[in-house]
Amino acid sequence: MTFFKERLKNIKAFIFDVDGVLSYDTSPLDESGDPVRTANVKDGFAIRYALQNGFQMAIITGANTQRVKLRYKKLGVEHIYLNSFQKMECLDDFIVKTGVAKNEILYMGDDLVDFPIMKEVGIPTCPVDAVPEVKAISMYISDKKGGEGCVRDVIEQVMRSQQKWFGQEIKGIKAD
């Protein structure tokens, strides 16, 4: 059996859910009744840094808001799937477009809609406040809650395992 830390060395891509992972799982509502999502700046920095170091990245979410799309486009994420409740179709599309194998993907989700995709990827992960069913199939449970740095946690672990986390001078990278 391969240990979790050893498997991190094979990761070439990250896929993240939004609500409950990249943002809090509770949100105030705007005047039209839509959630106002949060964004953790340390997660944003880690996303940008991973992309600049050659990792592939996707966002797959049931959310259907242009603010989410704009946020992650600004960070450099090319593969953003909104209004997605059949996440396996998005995974298949991402694989075709990037050439990354399923076993080279780390996915972080927090709820039942993430369950099928998590069973297919190389490393399924979740924040500490994920639902029990998702925790049960996760290879790693971050000690951080959704929206509170869990994405930075897994990106940093992968990059450290591959000796890519701040091993060289950072040039031209902008903080979030």
Cα-Cα-Cα-Cα dihedral sign, residues 109, 113, 119, 121? negative
Q: Is 30 annotated as a binding residue?
A: no
Q: Is 17 annotated as a binding residue?
A: yes
User: Nearest CA to 68 among 93, 107, 38, 24?
Assistant: 38
Q: Could you give the CA distance from residue 87 to residue 109 in angstroms, rounded to a whole number?
A: 11
DSSP 8-state assignment for residue 145: P
Q: Is 110 annotated as a binding residue?
A: yes
Copy the structure tokens of residue 124.
Answer: 């399924």
Half-sphere exposure of 54 (CA within 13 A, CB side): 9
The binding site for Mg(2+) consists of 17, 110
The binding site consists of 17, 19, 110
The binding site for substrate consists of 19
